[in-house]
Structure 1
Amino acid sequence: MSDERAPGRLPRLPLRAAFPPPPGPGRPGDPGVCVPGGVFRAVTAERATVLGGPAAILLQVAHPLVAEGVAVHSDYTAGPAHRLLATLQAALTVTFGDTEQARAAARHVGAQHARVRGTTRTAVPGTPAGTPYRAGDPDLALWVHATLVHTARRVVERYVGRRLDAAERERHWQESKPFARLFAVSPAVLPRTGADFEEYWRTAVARLVVTDAARTVARDILTQRTSPPLPGVAALARSVTADLLPPRVADAYGLERTPGRRASAAALRTLLRTARPVLPRRVALWPHAEVARRRTAAALR
């Protein structure tokens, strides 16, 4: 029997899909739900954050309940990278759109998640068979949010070369909370401080279990083909993802940090860090950030 999810059967990803257009200009003067000029927007604005997409998804599905929901309810196998980029577009709209644009994007995601519920079919360490799950569970929503926050920060620090000091890390976390609340993360489960978030992250990562369902998602995302073809992109994606993931999680996915992968990731880090200071804003940053800047500035005119 043929494998319908073999790399050669995956739909090709048009390169233009990696450059989602910004939403409309929105209501003049409306700052949106995230802090204008804040650290959270500054980190998210970097185009390089797209490098962390596969790592964030692999972290999410390393939670057995998230993996089960994806395996049963998601169409990742029909086009995993397309789904990843749809998630990117929603995140950019919520971060940089005006208030109604942000809420509409979050409502759209919430409507898609409303049907994702059930019970686990098999037991994995720490999660017995029959454990209930639902996408709107605040604890699961917090984990998904945490993967986005942590991975974006790590990409910006490693591949853009912007190190966040303790005060900036605290602001980054606090400014991420309005984003989280729009995606079903209740205030009751949000870590109070940046230090609390770091402790939550360490504890949560230690409990991750990479299941066969998670490995299927990883295989599909990391073997995605592009149109036009770009030789070496999949290998580079695996190198960067191995670099960004916690070592134990990377190993569980079969993404060991081999000398070749280390060298590939290091070369890309050097290239991007060298280029970033001289890149025009329109190249280095998502256009969503400029739309938000102009919209907010309209209130001062």
Structure 2
Amino acid sequence: MIVSEADFARCLDEVLSAPAQAGDGVLGPDSVMWRVHREAALFLGAGRALLLQLAHPWVSAGIAEQSKVFADPLGRFHRTFSIVYTMVFGTRDQAAAVARWLYRRHAAVGGVMTETAGPFAAGSRYRANDVEALRWVHATLVETAMMSYGLLCPPLTDAEREQYWREAMRFAGLFGIPRDVLPADWVSFKIYTAAMMESETLTVSTAARDIAQRIFSGEATWVGPPRWFSALTAEMLPERLRLAFDLPDGAREHRSAARARIWLPRLYAALPPRLRTVGPYQEAMARLCGEPCPSFTRLLNRGWIGQPLMPAANAAGVRRPSAQS
């Protein structure tokens, strides 16, 4: 099912009409999502989330044929993080603006499968605004965030995980995903993701394998990720997908991942809060305190989202006009 403009408008209206929490955003500083997504630790899962998304043939086809990921990999990174962080930490108006931009962007992405991959036959059409594809992309973000958070931060309780999932269901409306297609609770969500991991819907196509190889080798991004990051990424994937992506998975990689699991938590715990938390969260906290965004936070934002401030509600796309930068 394709998310029509009317479907998206209904989902967005449901998000914006929900009772406000503390603060001025879709969620607030007392939410579990803020507590989880403020942590820089979530970057550890970026590779996993990307590969799981690429494993859906429609996603990899769209990236291969429509995206500028290879021409501007850093720009794609910044746009992705700018959208997600603005949805989480921005005001309601900011979150709605980037959600509308993302819907329009997805509505323009579609084409014909050039190869058969799993249940998707060569010659069949794909659309980025398909509900099932959007639901999977949302699921990769949610599950990977929780997994990455648990690598370096104290694990959440069962009750906190349930609250996080309720908040993630609200977050899904910004992607145009209707609430009634989402699992009812965290346990049901984990059952859904486990089933997807084993289903033929996730089939690593030639396009997906090529994109992954170019990114992880450094060919597309000028410099490849360190061995420990690649090793952790491989470790966080199901075996069948790890093999399908042809990721290095030998004794050297296992030792590298094991060492990283020891030294990363120690290093992370020693970092000051302004380095442990992402720039958009710090910007949001300054906003809620009625203070201007600090210079250091603006600098952090340039690293995380490619600009000094989250996109303004009236900005075109996901970049703030230069006069406001």
| TM-score grouping bracket, smaller chain normalisation | 0.7 to 0.9
Q: Which residue of 1 aligns with 2:156?
A: 164
Q: Distance in 2 between matches of 1:219 and 1:256?
A: 11
Q: 2:27 aligned to 13, 34, 41, which one?
A: 34
Structure 1 residue 57, shift from structure 2 partner: 1.0
Whether the aligned pair in 2 keeps the contact of 1:122 and 1:130 (CA below 8 Å) is yes
Task: Rate the CA distance shift 1:40–1:139 in 2: closer, same or farther, 3 A.
Answer: same
- Secondary structure of the corresponding residue to residue 78 of structure 1: coil
Residue correspondence of structure 1 range 1-301 to structure 2 within 5 A: 30-158=23-151, 160-207=152-199, 208-224=202-218, 233-297=225-289
CA distance in 2, matches of 1:235, 1:55: 14
Contact 2:29–2:35 under 8 Å retained in 1: no
Q: Report how many residues are paired.
A: 268
Whether the 8 Å CA contact 1:34–1:41 is kept in 2: the answer is: yes
Aligned partners of 1:117 and 1:132 also within 8 Å: yes
Name the structure 2 match of 1:10: none
Which amino acid is 1:211 matched to?
S
- SS of the equivalent of 1:156 reads helix
- Structure 1 residue aligned with 2:305: none
Normalising by structure 2, we get a TM-score of: 0.76
Give 1:282 deviation, angstroms: 0.2
8 A Cα contact 2:216 2:225, kept in partner = no
Would you say the 8 A contact 2:33–2:164 is kept in 1?
yes
Q: For each residue in 1:225-278, what CA deviation from the matched residue of structure 2 results, as whole angstroms up to 9, or x when unmatched?
A: 799x87x74433321211222222112111143221122122222222113333
SS at match of 1:145: helix
Whether the 8 Å contact between 1:32 and 1:99 is mirrored in structure 2 is yes
Distance across 2 between alignment mates of 1:181 and 1:126? 27
Contact 2:117 2:204 survives alignment (8 Å): no
Distance (whole Å) between structure 2 residues aligned to residue 79 and residue 243 of structure 1: 28
Letter in 2 for 1:214: A
AA in 2 matched with 1:96: F
Q: Is residue 210–residue 252 contact of structure 1 (8 Å, CA) maintained in 2?
A: yes
Amino acid across the alignment from 2:82: Q
Alpha-carbon RMSD across the aligned residues, in angstroms, is: 2.3
> How far, CA to CA, are the matches of 2:157 and 2:226 in structure 1?
33
> Do the aligned partners of 1:222 and 1:234 also contact (CA within 8 Å) in 2?
no
Q: 1:48-73 CA deviation, whole Å, 9 max, x = no partner? A: 21121121111001011211222221
Residue 151 of structure 1 aligns with an amino acid whose one-letter code is: T
Whole-Å Cα distance in 1 between the matches of residues 138 and 182 of structure 2? 10
Q: TM-score, normalised by structure 1?
A: 0.81
Instruction: Please tell me the residue identity of whatever aligns with 1:137.
Output: D
Secondary structure of residue in 2 paired with 1:118: strand
SS class of match (1:103):
helix
Q: Which amino acid aligns with 1:107?
A: R
- Alignment match, 2:6: none
CA distance in 1 between partners of 2:42 and 2:135 (Å):
20
Would you say the 8 A contact 1:119–1:130 is kept in 2?
Answer: yes
- Contact 2:53–2:140 under 8 Å retained in 1: yes
Q: 1:108 to 1:89 in 2, by over 3 A?
A: same
User: What is the distance in 1 between the residues matched to 2:35 and 2:241?
Assistant: 28
Q: Any conservation in 2 of the 1:66–1:140 contact (CA below 8 Å)?
A: yes
Contact 1:81/1:221, CA 8 A, preserved across alignment = no
Bigger relative contact order (CA 8 A; separation at least 6):
1
Q: 1:69 to 1:275 in 2, by over 3 A?
A: same
Identity percentage of aligned residues: 34
